[in-house]
A and B are shown apart, each in its own frame.
Chain A
Amino acid sequence: MKKIALLGMPNTGKSTLFNRMTGAAARVGNWPGITVELLSGKILLGGDMVEIVDLPGIYDLHGFSDDEQVVRHFLRDNVPDLALVVLNATQIERQLSLLLQLKQLNLNMVVLLNMADEARKFGITVDTGKMTEALGIPIFLLSAKYGTGYNESMQAAARALRYTTPGLAENLRDQLKQDGQIETEMARVLQHSVQVPARLPDNLTNQLDHLMLHPWLGLPIFFGIMYLLFQAIFFFGQPLQTGVNALFGWLREAAIVPLLAFLPAMLQGLLLDGVYNGVATVAAFVPLIVLFFLFMAIVEDTGYLSRAAFLMDVLMAKMGLDGRSFVMLLMGFGCNVPALMGTRVMRSRPLRLLSMLVVPFSLCSARLQVFVFVTAALFSPKAAPLVLFSLYLFSFASAILTALLFKRYFPSSEPFLLELPPYRFPTLRQMMLRGWHEVQHFLRRATLFIVAGVVLVWLLTHLPPSAAPASADTLAGIIGGWLHPLFEPVGITPELTIALIFGFVAKEIVIGSLAVIYGLGGEALSGALAQQLDWVQAYSFMLFTLIYTPCLSTIATLRSESKNAGFTLFAIAWSLVLAWMASLAFYQTARALGY
């Protein structure tokens, strides 16, 4: 099968084009370095099946960072039959340098000047005919986001695929011309084909940045936006969740209970109070997850992440990190795994490792589910969003403390150099794709971990059969009893201890296992929690949940990205120690103060 590779600088819209070509839902965002690994898809092009490979962005062919290595290795090992070189049309003046480097590799190429819509808005005109002539490569204007010029681009790609591919140099680096030559060549090509207005119109981005990056207002605005987001999540998400819970409860009584009536009581219990209650309680979070990721998609696509890097870099530098580490913490709000992989844009290994040490403290959407459930059960509707916000602050605090404590073991002098893209807004289609993608991700995890997890919890809380369910005589009770001396001083009950053990696998299981342990789903579980715990215990439990190891996937990613088992073990051990100490400090202080 013929292979087409998408090549270009970071944040030029390769993944947006990839999604349009393949119908896939690769993650896109207005941040240089959203794609750090290879993605591939197969499509029918010009009558043949071809494989499309989306590559991480590269600035040049000299790159040393891990995401750029991915591209170099790919090009060395698989010469693509066609390279679709995606350049940002508004920055053609500088991105041409990459094209000229690629040209020396004798690749079969078609050039797509993407973001043609933005270029037009900025008054930049490109004469593609003249440029094609000057370069000897077919060039097309495209808006991958809106689809303008897409058909012509694909026809050109199909035409170019018919020609055989010239070879590729054994050693990429040796073949690269001196930079001086590239500069002369750039000037020659640009001279007649591209016109950029001397001064760009004072556009929306400049005005917005005036406010968002304001020397004194910038940070308060950042925290204000975050607070509003969590208010919104509670305001819209909580009622949705209650609604879905009610629906599942009704379904259970109306259909599932009569359907399973013929089974023996033990099996009925397992299926109803184990699997159904557990899974339904977790599934009720789907609307919240969708809502959350719609917000995340907007934040990521607007380009605000780079602004956050600008605002926080000074502070992060004091912790041995940089603005990009902070952006990874923000990305970790969605899921820690892609945030860990996102650190590939860093060249210095110590900086990368230190960033990977702090990213798992980022309050991910799975932990958010636990906190939304517990805060809604134990705090008044007025206090709940504030409690949630405080947990996000604790999430930052844990990351900061960890970095401060360990930065001297990870010294780095990596330069901080980052593009600041203009503000953009995702299309409705892009937002829907993202939402759908996250639901799929959630359901995959649900089927993988949650069903197995809740079944195991049910068995632990119902075996041996002689013991009363969930009592101290069951397996769960015995394990909880062993760990009691450790968790008693932090106010965490044996029931919650069992949930925490399963939370090690994935935080999505925590509420599911509580549902199984108490034999109650949805609203009834909230009631039971409110009765058994006071707010100090609940908050201590949430602190522990926040800080200790997020999930097995995160551990696996830490291991594969660091390629260092010792580092991975250290990250796990430290998070457990910090979780226990933070909960202890909070619980004992609150009790000492008379709460």
Chain B
Amino acid sequence: MKTAHPHTATTLSSLHPGETATIASIHAEEALHQRLLAMGFRTGKKVELIRRARFSGPLQVRIGTTDILLRKAEAEKITVHRT
């Protein structure tokens, strides 16, 4: 099994439930980028993956005091460093 090294860049979608990471960058088109910003996704913010739905369903992540649901496809656009 591949072990994750701390501080290596990965995407939000590859985190496991309970893992936390720091947002490194966001690669999304303008409209999605704006919405992500408004929901609190900003470079340097800490994010925790709370749970994943079955069958590659949406992810529940926590940034500060906000919980957000997003699909895997969107989570792949967010690069993070595991902490």
Decide if B10 is an interface residue (CB 8 Å cutoff).
no
Expressed in whole angstroms, the minimum distance between the Cβ of B21 and any Cβ of chain A is 16
Decide if A457 is an interface residue (CB 8 Å cutoff).
no
**Are A314 and B64 CB-contacts (below 8 A) given A59-B34, A417-B36?**
no
Which residue from A317, A323, A416 sits with its C-beta under 8 Å from B74? Answer: A416
CB-CB under 8 A from B51, the residues of chain A are 209, 213, 215
- Bound-complex Cα distance A196 to B66 (A): 12
B13-57 interface bits toward A, Cβ cutoff 8 Å, 1 = contact, 0 = none: 000000000000000101110111111101000000011011111
Contact B68 A418 (CB under 8 A): yes
Q: Kindly report which residue of chain A lies nearest to residue B42, judged by CB atoms.
A: A183
Decide if A62 is an interface residue (CB 8 Å cutoff).
yes
- Bound-complex Cα distance A311 to B73 (A): 17
Contact A124 B53 (CB under 8 A): no
Q: Kindly report which residue of chain A lies nearest to residue B32, judged by CB atoms.
A: A415
Which residue from B32, B50, B53 sits with its C-beta under 8 Å from A313? Answer: B53
CB-CB under 8 A from B53, the residues of chain A are 213, 215, 310-311, 313-314
Contact B69 A310 (CB under 8 A): yes
**A interface residues, tally (CB under 8 Å):** 39
Q: Which of A87-95, A147-155, A367-375, A499-507 contacts B (4 or more CB under 8 A)?
A: A87-95
CB-CB under 8 A from A317, the residues of chain B are 71
Expressed in whole angstroms, the minimum distance between the Cβ of B11 and any Cβ of chain A is 15
- Bound-complex Cα distance A64 to B35 (A): 10
CB-CB under 8 A from B74, the residues of chain A are 415-417
CB-CB under 8 A from A314, the residues of chain B are 53-58
Which residue from A200, A347, A419 sits with its C-beta under 8 Å from B39? Answer: A419
Decide if A451 is an interface residue (CB 8 Å cutoff).
no
Expressed in whole angstroms, the minimum distance between the Cβ of A12 and any Cβ of chain B is 12
Contact A62 B73 (CB under 8 A): no
B60-80 interface bits toward A, Cβ cutoff 8 Å, 1 = contact, 0 = none: 100111111111011000000
CB-CB under 8 A from B55, the residues of chain A are 314
A303-347 interface bits toward B, Cβ cutoff 8 Å, 1 = contact, 0 = none: 000100111011001000001000000000000000000000001
CB-CB under 8 A from A124, the residues of chain B are 65
Which residue from B38, B63, B66, B69 sits with its C-beta under 8 Å from A309? Answer: B69
- Which residues of chain A (402-433) have a CB below 8 Å from chain B? 415-422
**B interface residues, tally (CB under 8 Å):** 32
Which residue from A94, A179, A417 sits with its C-beta under 8 Å from B70? Answer: A417
CB-CB under 8 A from B70, the residues of chain A are 415-418
- Which residues of chain A (20-59) have a CB below 8 Å from chain B? 59
- Bound-complex Cα distance A419 to B36 (A): 11
Which residue from A216, A416, A420 sits with its C-beta under 8 Å from B60? Answer: A420
- Which residues of chain A (71-127) have a CB below 8 Å from chain B? 90-91, 93-94, 97-98, 122, 124
Expressed in whole angstroms, the minimum distance between the Cβ of B44 and any Cβ of chain A is 9
Contact B69 A94 (CB under 8 A): no
Q: In this complex, which of B28, B50, B63, B64 has the most chain A Cβ atoms within 10 angstroms of its Cβ?
A: B64
Which residue from A62, A415, A421 sits with its C-beta under 8 Å from B71? Answer: A415
Expressed in whole angstroms, the minimum distance between the Cβ of B33 and any Cβ of chain A is 9
- Bound-complex Cα distance A415 to B71 (A): 7
- Bound-complex Cα distance A419 to B62 (A): 10
**Are A94 and B64 CB-contacts (below 8 A) given A62-B34, A310-B69, A417-B69?**
yes
Which residue from B34, B50, B64, B67 sits with its C-beta under 8 Å from A60? Answer: B34
Contact A347 B68 (CB under 8 A): no
- Bound-complex Cα distance A418 to B53 (A): 14
- Bound-complex Cα distance A200 to B74 (A): 26
Expressed in whole angstroms, the minimum distance between the Cβ of B40 and any Cβ of chain A is 4
Which residue from A94, A196, A420 sits with its C-beta under 8 Å from B40? Answer: A94
Contact A59 B60 (CB under 8 A): no
- Bound-complex Cα distance A417 to B28 (A): 13
A293-306 interface bits toward B, Cβ cutoff 8 Å, 1 = contact, 0 = none: 00000000000001
- Bound-complex Cα distance A183 to B66 (A): 17
- Bound-complex Cα distance A415 to B70 (A): 8
Expressed in whole angstroms, the minimum distance between the Cβ of A59 and any Cβ of chain B is 4
**Are A416 and B58 CB-contacts (below 8 A) given A98-B38, A179-B37, A347-B31?**
yes
CB-CB under 8 A from A94, the residues of chain B are 38-40, 63-64, 66
Q: Kindly report which residue of chain B lies nearest to residue A119, judged by CB atoms.
A: B65
Decide if A378 is an interface residue (CB 8 Å cutoff).
no
Contact A60 B54 (CB under 8 A): no
- Bound-complex Cα distance A416 to B34 (A): 14
Contact B58 A323 (CB under 8 A): yes
Q: Kindly report which residue of chain A lies nearest to residue B57, judged by CB atoms.
A: A314
Decide if A9 is an interface residue (CB 8 Å cutoff).
yes
Contact A416 B39 (CB under 8 A): no
CB-CB under 8 A from B56, the residues of chain A are 314
- Bound-complex Cα distance A216 to B55 (A): 11
- Bound-complex Cα distance A313 to B53 (A): 9
Which residue from A59, A215, A216, A306 sits with its C-beta under 8 Å from B35? Answer: A59
Expressed in whole angstroms, the minimum distance between the Cβ of B60 and any Cβ of chain A is 6
Contact A415 B73 (CB under 8 A): yes
Expressed in whole angstroms, the minimum distance between the Cβ of A336 and any Cβ of chain B is 25
Contact B57 A196 (CB under 8 A): no
Q: Kindly report which residue of chain B lies nearest to residue A199, judged by CB atoms.
A: B48
- Which residues of chain A (178-227) have a CB below 8 Å from chain B? 179, 183, 196, 200, 209, 213, 215-216
**Are A91 and B66 CB-contacts (below 8 A) given A215-B54, A415-B32?**
yes
CB-CB under 8 A from A183, the residues of chain B are 42
Expressed in whole angstroms, the minimum distance between the Cβ of A182 and any Cβ of chain B is 9
Expressed in whole angstroms, the minimum distance between the Cβ of B26 and any Cβ of chain A is 11
Can you name 6 A-B pairs with beta carbons within 8 Å?
A91-B64, A93-B40, A124-B65, A313-B71, A317-B71, A418-B70
Instruction: Report, nearest first, the 6 A-B pairs whose CB atoms are least far apart.
Output: A59-B38, A94-B40, A314-B57, A420-B67, A418-B69, A416-B71
